[in-house]
A = this chain, B = another copy of it.
Amino acid sequence: MKQKKLIVIGGSAAGAKAAARARRIDQNAEITIIQKDPDLSMASCGYPYYVGDLFDDRNMLLCTPTGVVRDSDFFLKTKDINARTEVAVAEIDKVNHTVTCQDANNGETEILAYDKLIIATGAKPKMPPIPGIGLDGISTLLSMRDADYLRSLVDEKKVKKAVIVGGGLIGIETCEALQLAGVEVTIVECLPQLLSFLDWKMAKLVENHIKSKSVNIILDNGVSEFVGEDGKLTSVKLGDGTQLPCELAVMAIGVAPNSKLAADAGLEIGTLGGIAVNHKMQTSDPDIYAAGDCVEIKNLLSDKNVLAPFGDLANLQGRVAGENALNGNNASFPGTIQSGICKIFEFSAGATGFSEQTARLAGFTDIETVINASPDKPGFMGAKLLVSKMLVNKKDQRLIGYQCVGPGDVSKQVAVAAMAIQGKQTVDDLVNSDLPYAPPFSLAIDHFIASAHIMQNKLCGRMIGISAEEVEGKLKAQNSDDKPFLLDARSPVEFEEMRLGVGEKLIPLGALRGRLDELPADKEKEIICYCKISLRGYETALILNANGWKNVKVMEGGIMAWPYAREK
């Protein structure tokens, strides 16, 4: 039997996984990985934790669970894969089924033949042509080399101040790493919020937490110039003229698919710049597959293509490409619902499916949302706060998005929501979810299920919700008659400890039935009820409704989800 020749371009997540899977599918194939970088199978999502000194041994980013470094020798011996590092592919000739390689060390070129080719060239950092961007002291955090560089700066303690350009996942994780290493960090983000996979308010809660760690955050502002002396960065100048002295700037404004090699070879490129593939991970050339950050894939909710450069998806796609390249397209990768998560100090922030913003952009206009704030566990087990936002498509009542932030067990919340979206579950399914319960792990009614309960109450009109953002907007009304009546349902003790201080009236829920005369006589007046998390706020609203007030709303998530400054 003729040995099939498989070449995989790229040896990080998608490429290494594709090659390993291909070997498991076919023990006889000749499998070669061509890797530009010196390392292989890098756990690139772990770079921030290495930079942040969570561990010292850089090999931990490169090794198997039993501690063996995945180098060329490892690939050869355990997988019978020829992994050639520091070799770049200069050209793909799809007609003749060859790739032209160039050795990075001696510049020699070589032409290799393939039967099947897998492109896993990853993504490259976006580096806009800002003046001074070539100065020493400007880095990204996307390669092992970047990680080594930043870690050396941390170890040498030479950097006092750093600016991180971009408040997305990588920017945020890098921020934590540097701040924990004692660096004074400023994040500069050109959008009005951090973490654009979250809706504004959820991102604001994360921002408040990051600021509490003495990190400086500048939003709605971009870099106009990197200023230096003797070729070394000394400060970053912003669009509004602000100058931020620093010795280090990390560019983290996102990545773009590395699809040039594919484009040059005449393969179809998608409208977003990623290599076009079908659900078999096959490009426009049936003998060429592609996987990982270099491709664009389908968003399963919108049915539109997206760029989703996540390590987990790269692995799943690589697995499919590796199998299909040698075994005739049996495997499929249907697409993504764009689940993601990050840790930032004591907070986690995660999302799956649509945000409200992306849902509307994708044409989902008739949606209902719920903000829920609650502990993740009973108080006696050391409860931590969760704040979440659930999105449902009203037409079919399906869950289409879920975001969660806070110090609590966010990861489980988002994972559960991801499975619910994947399973096309409706609110009626979710309200009776049978999740594993015991006090060390959750409340008797889990936060996620409680969100579904609130959603059900909203959808059937039992509860009229209002967001903190809307409330804040209404409080700005010129005419005091136009301002809503705000009713805080907590106890006086709680009120003394913490309060909005925006002119609210305090009537504890337990006293409300006897103090209805303190409420507006005008039964049409807009009354907004809340408490710490707005469960008592909800019960307050029900009492007011039953007593004839007609315009009563509940501020969702209560004070715990209030993203603005408070009086106390």
Given contacts A67-B379, A375-B65, whether A418 and B432 have CB atoms under 8 Å apart is no
CB-CB under 8 A from A412, the residues of chain B are: 409, 411-412, 415
Which of A148-156, A222-230, A231-239, A332-340 forms part of the interface with chain B?
A: A332-340
Neighbouring B residues of A432 by C-beta, 8 Å: 316, 320, 332-334
Closest partner residue, chain B, to A47 (CB atom): B439
Copies of the polypeptide in the assembly: 2
Asked if residues A539 and B78 are in contact (CB atoms below 8 Å), the reply is yes
A437 to chain B: closest residue by CB: B312
A229 to chain B, nearest CB (A): 37
The answer to the question of A513 belonging to the interface, with a C-beta cut-off of 8 Å to chain B, is yes
Please provide the chain A residues from 63 to 115 with a CB less than 8 Å away from any CB of chain B in the complex: 63, 65-68, 74, 77-80
Q: Does A429 contact B (CB under 8 A)?
A: yes
Please name the residue on chain B nearest to A436 by beta carbon.
B341
- Asked if B46 and A381 sit within 8 Å, CB to CB, the answer is yes
B510 touches A439 (CB 8 A): no
Measured CA separation A414–B453 after assembly (Å): 21
Asked if residues A46 and B437 are in contact (CB atoms below 8 Å), the reply is: no
Q: How far is the CA of A350 from the CA of B416 in the complex (A)?
A: 15
Partner pick for A341 among B416, B425, B441, B536, CB 8 A cutoff: B441
CB-contact partner of A439 in B49, B320, B434, under 8 A: B49
Does A255 make an interface contact (CB < 8 A)? no
Interface core residue of A65, A351, A419, A453 (most chain B CB under 10 Å): A419
Interface string of A380-398 (1 = CB under 8 A from B): 1101000000000000000
Least Cβ–Cβ distance between A342 and chain B, in angstroms: 5
Question: Of A53-61, A188-196, A201-209, A473-481, which binds chain B?
Answer: A53-61
Q: A65 near B333 (CB under 8 angstroms)?
A: no
Determine whether the beta carbon of A509 is less than 8 Å from that of B425.
Answer: no
Please name the residue on chain B nearest to A381 by beta carbon.
B49
Residues of A436-451 whose CB lies within 8 A of B: 436-442, 444-446, 449
A453, B340: Cα distance in complex, Å: 21
Collect the chain B residues with CB atoms within 8 Å of residue A24's CB.
462, 538-539, 542
A43 interface residue per 8 A CB criterion: yes
Query: CA A273 – CA B532 in complex, angstroms?
Result: 42
A545 contacts B by Cβ under 8 Å? yes
Within 8 A of B (CB), among A153-188: 169, 173
Contact with A65, one of B383, B425, B429, B438 (Cβ below 8 angstroms): B383
CB distance from A263 to the nearest CB of B (A): 27
Contact B411 A419 (CB under 8 A): no
Residue A13 interfacial (CB < 8 Å): yes
Instruction: Mark A423-439 against chain B: 1 for CB-CB distance below 8 A, else 0.
Output: 11100110111111111
For window 527-541 of A, CB contacts with B under 8 Å fall at: 532-533, 536, 538-539
A124 to B464, CA, bound (A): 41
Chain B residues, CB < 8 A from A339: 434-437
B511 and A77 contact, CB distance less than 8 A: yes
Whole-angstrom CA separation of A173 from B316 in the bound complex? 39
**Taking the complex as formed, is A313 at the interface, i.e. its CB lies under 8 A from any CB of chain B?**
yes
> At the interface, yes or no: A116 with Cβ under 8 Å from chain B?
no
Cα separation A246 to B18 with both chains bound (whole Å): 60
- Shortest CB–CB separation between residue A280 and chain B, in angstroms? 12
Give the interface size class of chain A.
35 or more
Q: Is the CB of B438 within 8 A of A342?
A: yes
Distance A28 CA – B513 CA, assembled complex (angstroms):
12
What distance in Å separates the Cβ of A286 from its nearest Cβ neighbour in chain B? 22
How far, in whole Å, are A442 and B42 apart by their CA atoms in the complex? Answer: 16
Q: Known: A43-B439, A350-B436, A439-B46. Contact between A66 and B490, CB under 8 A?
A: yes
User: Smallest distance from the beta carbon of A415 to chain B beta carbons, Å?
Assistant: 5
Is A220 an interface residue when CB atoms closer than 8 A count as contact?
Answer: no
Whether, in the assembled complex, A258 has its beta carbon less than 8 Å from a beta carbon of chain B, the answer is: no
Task: Point out the residues of chain B lying under 8 angstroms from A216, CB to CB.
Answer: none
B437, A45: Cβ atoms closer than 8 Å? yes
- Whether A77 and B510, one on each chain, are in contact in the complex, defined by CB atoms closer than 8 angstroms, is yes
Indicate if the CB atoms of B436 and A418 lie closer than 8 Å: yes
Name 7 A/B residue pairs within 8 A (Cβ), A-sorted.
A27-B547, A50-B380, A78-B509, A312-B437, A343-B440, A419-B423, A423-B424
10 smallest beta-carbon distances between A and B, as pairs: A423-B423, A27-B546, A77-B510, A419-B419, A341-B436, A312-B437, A60-B380, A412-B412, A411-B441, A343-B440
Interface residues of A (CB under 8 A from B): 13, 23-24, 27-28, 43, 45-46, 49-50, 54-55, 60-61, 63, 65-68, 74, 77-80, 169, 173, 310-316, 319-320, 332-334, 336-343, 348, 350-352, 374-375, 378-381, 383, 409, 411-412, 414-416, 418-420, 422-425, 428-429, 431-442, 444-446, 449, 453, 462, 490-491, 494, 509-511, 513, 532-533, 536, 538-539, 542-543, 545-547
Q: Besides A45-B437, A54-B380, A332-B428, 10 other CB < 8 A contacts?
A: A27-B545, A78-B539, A79-B539, A339-B437, A352-B436, A411-B442, A415-B416, A416-B416, A419-B419, A423-B424
